[in-house]
Amino acid sequence: MDVVGYLHNADLLLEDEQGVVVMGGSHYVLSLGDKVYLQHMIDQETKLYQVHISFASAEHAMLHEDEIQVKFEGCRDDLREYINATTVH
């Protein structure tokens, strides 16, 4: 999935042809154009995933392991509802 945006609380918006994901908790600072590959779920209750990350600044030459928390998965329409529900107006 490609990093395509930033959301509140330092969460990142990832997108691919299957949908969008809001993630947080990475040990790395990710930028637009970086890629995150979900490997497997570590903890179902907290939606903690093992991931591989490749950085655009390094021309995606290496993969780095990390753990991230998936806060939302779905389509763009559902994302709007999630943002409205989690944003203080």
Convert the pLDDT of each residue in 30-76 to its tens digit. Answer: 999 999 999 999 999 999 999 999 999 999 999 999 999 999 999 99
Q: What is the pLDDT of residue 89?
A: 61
- CA triplet 10, 41, 54: central angle to 5 degrees? 55
Flag whether pLDDT at 84 surpasses 70: yes
User: Is pTM beyond 0.85 here?
Assistant: yes
Distance CA 23, CA 68 (A): 6
Q: Which residues of 4-39 are buried (b: 16+ CB within 10 A; e: fewer)?
A: eeebeeebbbbeeeeebbbbebbeeebeeebbbebe
